[in-house]
Structure 1
Amino acid sequence: METVYGSMRQHGLVRPTQGRLLGGVIAGLGQRFGIDPWPARLLFVLILLAIPGSQILIYPILWILMPSEDAVAPVTPITPQAPVA
């Protein structure tokens, strides 16, 4: 799962901590494509009206797959080194 999070984070697809309404998915997509959150939400609703149901499946999947902006990156273990005398 870390490779999915890393790939999405690398491409700028993260759920922002500021400006979330529900899960931050639409705000994150808007941020990635340079759209403010409210027009992105409006576009999401318009697409939902045009193609009902598809977004209801896509939103929870993206909510699970998109990392949060404040998520801590995995820590790599540090190997202790012998003191230099």
Structure 2
Amino acid sequence: MSKSRLSRSVVAVCLLISGFLLTLTGLTMLFTHADPGHGRQLMLIGMTRHQFYDIHILFALITLLFGIIHIIINWKAFISSFRYLFKD
């Protein structure tokens, strides 16, 4: 496997994993509500909703970074696809 193909594969897998974890933390925040009016917070695996929010933001930044790297690495294919889709 060439170095270029390996780096594309690694970036694609990292993008997939970080996107999955971003979705997972987002769904966790959606379904983990605070206990209104009692001053208590529901905890899931020892973490509060706010801690999941912090992790969610971290995964969002990581996914964005890998997304940008993915576009840079695959720039030729990206432009070629647009030319094919929008040709006259």
TM-score, length of structure 1 as denominator length = 0.31
Whose Rg is larger?
2
TM-score (norm 2): 0.30
Higher strand share: 2
